[in-house]
């Protein structure tokens, strides 16, 4: 959808800080210099503008991702792949017990258009919600321009594999992807391909470490190779994953460099389940009934391995497939 707004997006005129307010169903969203305010019929919530925009950016860019995207312990979305729930307190035990939680379901294009309009209006010129905190200016203050180039970045989604002719291109200084300050020691040589005669156009390989060393964004898995439903979605991580992801399927993590600390909780209640420290070479499977958030003190490389099969969430939710990946 290329239109900036669909008819259902309902912004107000700018407030005294220069920001518009938005309504979606019975939810309203507004912001001032520091905070975002969300209201629904049974409650209200406040979030820091930088954290909210970082979460919103990912929800929009990832088309609501797999399963649940918690912006924090109260607000978030559930992807039903065609429609999306917007909730307040739905996965928060205290809100549930007090019966203050609220959920509304929207057609995906409707919630996406509203979220995109909020993201564009509330992101100032200096702020890049995908950048590490060290590599962006401030999200705060009165409305000051916009950063549409950043918030509308094209997501890398290879059809077969990066570097295959006609598919996603390699990154280089020349096409605007310099090596990140934390990855200056990563070798940049590319593999030599020696194909059997007749297969010259059909063999491809690339240096994934070099490719990732040139990522300009953080906490943004991009599809670099596809084999049926097997999706390799590596990403570079620094500071905190801006969402708390509630899985609807198992995900595998392979720590390619440096270190990430994961907080793992029960998906529905938030009760603590595990703390995981992943070091280079470590492999973990995140079960289908958890939510998790990662912390990286230094930029690191993580391979997220997703199973894109559309039938998985229903199989797991109905108990026909397990919430864990392997029996030993
Ligand atoms: C995840 O929720 O599994 C996830 C999301 C973004 C990342 C890494 C992992 O960058
Ligand atoms: Fe996840």
Q: Which of 232, 246, 294 to mutate to test the pocket of ligand 1 (most atoms within 8 A of CB)?
A: 294
Nearest CA to ligand 1 atom 5: 219
Atom of ligand 1 nearest to the CA of 221: 10
**130: its two tokens:** 């995908």
Average pLDDT, the chain: 96
Q: Taking a C-beta distance cutoff of 8 angstroms, is the pair 37, 29 a contact?
A: yes
CB distance 304 to ligand 1 below 6 Å = yes
User: Which ligand lies nearest to the CA atom of residue 212 in the structure?
Assistant: 1
What is the arithmetic mean of pLDDT over 253-282? 97
Instruction: Give the per-residue pLDDT at 68.
Output: 98
The pLDDT confidence band at residue 7, using thresholds 50, 70 and 90, is: low
What is the arithmetic mean of pLDDT over 139-154? 98
What is the arithmetic mean of pLDDT over 57-67? 98
Q: How far is the CA of 230 from the centre of ligand 2 (A)?
A: 15
Nearest CA to ligand 1 atom 7: 219
What is the arithmetic mean of pLDDT over 122-136? 98
């Amino acid at each position: 959808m290329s239109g900036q707004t669909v008819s259902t997006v309902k912004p107000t005129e700018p407030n005294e800080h220069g920001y518009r307010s938005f309504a979606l169903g019975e939810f309203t969203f507004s912001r001032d210099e520091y905070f975002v305010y969300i209201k629904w019929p049974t409650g209200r919530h406040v979030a820091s503008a930088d954290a909210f925009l970082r979460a919103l950016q990912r929800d929009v860019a990832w088309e609501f991702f797999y399963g649940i995207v918690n912006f924090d312990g109260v607000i978030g979305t559930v992807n039903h792949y065609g429609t999306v729930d917007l909730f307040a307190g739905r996965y928060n035990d205290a809100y549930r017990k007090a019966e203050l939680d609220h959920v509304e379901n929207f057609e995906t294009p409707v919630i996406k258009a509203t979220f995109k309009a909020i993201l564009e209006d509330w992101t100032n010129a200096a702020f890049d919600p995908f950048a590490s905190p060290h590599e962006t200016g401030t999200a705060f203050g009165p409305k000051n321009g916009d950063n549409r180039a950043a918030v509308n970045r094209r997501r890398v989604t290879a059809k077969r594999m990066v570097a295959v002719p006609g598919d996603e291109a390699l990154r280089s200084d020349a096409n605007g992807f310099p090596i990140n300050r934390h990855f200056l020691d990563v070798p940049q040589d590319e593999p030599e391909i020696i194909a059997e005669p007749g297969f010259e156009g059909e063999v491809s390989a690339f240096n994934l470490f070099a490719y990732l060393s040139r990522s300009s964004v953080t906490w943004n898995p991009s599809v670099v190779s596809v084999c049926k439903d097997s999706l390799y979605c590596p990403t570079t991580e620094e500071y905190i994953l801006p969402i708390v992801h509630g899985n609807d399927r198992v995900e595998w993590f392979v720590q390619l460099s440096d270190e990430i600390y994961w907080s793992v909780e029960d998906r529905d209640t938030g009760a603590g389940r595990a703390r995981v420290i992943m070091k280079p070479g470590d492999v973990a499977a995140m079960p289908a009934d958890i939510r998790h958030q990662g912390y990286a003190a230094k930029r690191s490389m993580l391979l997220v391995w997703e199973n894109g099969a559309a039938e998985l969430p229903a199989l797991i939710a109905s108990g026909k497939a397990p919430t864990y990946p392997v029996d030993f």
